[in-house]
Structure 1
Amino acid sequence: MIKLLVGILVFVINTVYRDRPYPRFYVLETVARVPYFSYLSVLHLYETLGFWRKADWLKVHFAESWNELHHLLIMESLGGSAFWGDRILAKTTALIYYWIIVTLYIISPKSAYHFMELVEGHAYSSYQKFLTEQAAELKLQPAPAIAISYYRDGDLYMFDEFQTAPSSEKRRPQVDNLYDVFVAIRDDEMEHVKTMVACQETNAQISFKSPHTLANSEITDSFANIPSD
């Protein structure tokens, strides 16, 4: 069922938008935000009902949705949402997938995360192909202001927060031109894949923490290990 859901989405996007990259990415990013909204809705429901509280999961999934929002804003700034038909298709598909993933997340969280792992994997491949084919042209175009604000000049707390894969240093994308922007978006998608994989680990219910929570824990542990006089 997961492969079918992803397959339908990929087929529609690749068929309808074969020669229209920016509208295709606009639709893709509109739909790609939705599963994170679904996860957040169910997690908030569980917390409201008193089942359990997972603040770190809420932080990471919100940071993921925030990242996807800026991908979407970049595509809108490039004219991807100019045609009303594209907006209707994107929003209708997003609404349908929202309720599908809400239901799936309640029944099987691992399956819901696997769905998003496949979607983000497809997004990574799509951006990689686009970069390979349009590299020369993209390098001649300036980076959109929204991309510069998000990746370089803005508050990077939530940009760091969705990247849960172990790393020796924080990622800071270069945004000198449009090619750099698409490289950053492509790399974001792989970070989402890694995060979705981490959410499917057997002990994820206990071990999964946001990057800043882990960093603060390490600082606390380091102070705890300092001998007292």
Structure 2
Amino acid sequence: MIRLLVGILVFVINTIYRDRPYPRFYVLETVARVPYFSYLSVLHLYETLGLWRKADWLKVHFAESWNELHHLLIMEHLGGASFWGDRLLAKTTALIYYWIITALYLVSPRAAYNFMELVEKHAYNSYNKFLTSQETELKALPAPEIARLYYRDGDLYMFDEFQTAQTPAERRPQINNLYDVFVAIRDDEMEHVKTMIACQLPNAALSSISPHSLKPQTVE
């Protein structure tokens, strides 16, 4: 079922947006945010009911959604959301996937994380192919201000927080042109993959996954 859900999403994006990269990335980033919203919703429900408290996971998943938000803002700046049909498809698909992943996360968190691992791997490959084919053009274009603020000039706590395989401040992308921006986005997707893999480990629920945690938090 997980591979079917991912396969449908990939097929639709590859078919409709074969020669329209920015709308393609806009749709992809709109949908890519919603599983993190699903995880947060269920984790908040568990905590509200007094069943389970894992503040670290809430923090990391929010940082992941924050990262995807900035990917989305960059694509909107580049014109990816200019056509109403693209916005309608993206938001409709995102709404459907939100409820599917929410239900899946209630039943099997590991399966829900595996879904996102596959989506993020597809995103990484998509950006990597785009960088290879458009390197010269992208290097001649300026970096959007929103990218400079997120990756270089702003408060980088949230940027560090979603990268569970890195220590804080270890990764600092250079942002001098649009090519650098897409390199940073591509590399973000691989960091998401690593975090999703960490969340699927057998002892994941008993350990901290936040890069900023001083010690593992206990499960209640």
TM-score band, normalised by shorter chain: over 0.9
Alignment partner, residue 152 of structure 2: 152
Q: % of aligned pairs identical?
A: 80
**Alignment: residue pair count:** 216
Cα distance in 2 for partners of 1:205, 1:70 equals 28
Quote how far apart the aligned CAs of 1:39 are: 0.2
Alignment partner, residue 36 of structure 1: 36
Spell out the pairing of 1:101-180 with structure 2 (5 A cutoff).
101-167=101-167, 170-180=170-180
Cα distance in 1 for partners of 2:148, 2:199 equals 30
Q: Contact (CA 8 Å) 1:36, 1:65: kept in 2 or not?
A: yes
Cα distance in 2 for partners of 1:43, 1:169 equals 27
Alignment partner, residue 199 of structure 1: 199
Q: Which residues of structure 1 form unaligned runs of 5+?
A: 219-229
Deviates more, 1:107-116 or 1:204-213: 204-213
Cα distance in 2 for partners of 1:170, 1:104 equals 34
Quote how far apart the aligned CAs of 1:168 are: 8.8
Q: Contact (CA 8 Å) 1:199, 1:208: kept in 2 or not?
A: no
Quote how far apart the aligned CAs of 1:64 are: 0.1
Alignment partner, residue 46 of structure 1: 46
Cα distance in 2 for partners of 1:166, 1:55 equals 19
Q: Which residues of structure 2 form unaligned runs of 5+?
A: none
1:24-73, CA deviations, whole angstroms, 9 ceiling, x for partnerless residues? 00000000000000000000000001101000000000000000000000
Q: Structure 1 residues 96, 84: CA separation in 2 closer, same or farther (over 3 Å shift)?
A: same
SS in 1 for 2:212: helix
Q: Contact (CA 8 Å) 1:30, 1:91: kept in 2 or not?
A: yes
CA RMSD of aligned residues (A): 1.2
Cα distance in 2 for partners of 1:124, 1:170 equals 20
Cα distance in 1 for partners of 2:192, 2:168 equals 18
Cα distance in 2 for partners of 1:140, 1:166 equals 31
Cα distance in 2 for partners of 1:88, 1:174 equals 34
Q: Contact (CA 8 Å) 1:198, 1:208: kept in 2 or not?
A: no
Cα distance in 2 for partners of 1:184, 1:10 equals 22
Moved segments of 4+, more than 4 Å:
166-169
Q: TM-score, normalised by structure 1?
A: 0.92
Quote how far apart the aligned CAs of 1:217 are: 3.7
Quote how far apart the aligned CAs of 1:169 are: 5.8
**Letter aligned with residue 115 of structure 1:** F
Q: Contact (CA 8 Å) 2:164, 2:191: kept in 1 or not?
A: yes
Quote how far apart the aligned CAs of 1:170 are: 1.3
Cα distance in 1 for partners of 2:169, 2:90 equals 36
Cα distance in 2 for partners of 1:207, 1:36 equals 19
Q: Contact (CA 8 Å) 1:147, 1:181: kept in 2 or not?
A: yes
Q: TM-score, normalised by structure 2?
A: 0.96
Cα distance in 2 for partners of 1:167, 1:126 equals 26
Cα distance in 2 for partners of 1:217, 1:181 equals 33
SS in 1 for 2:176: coil
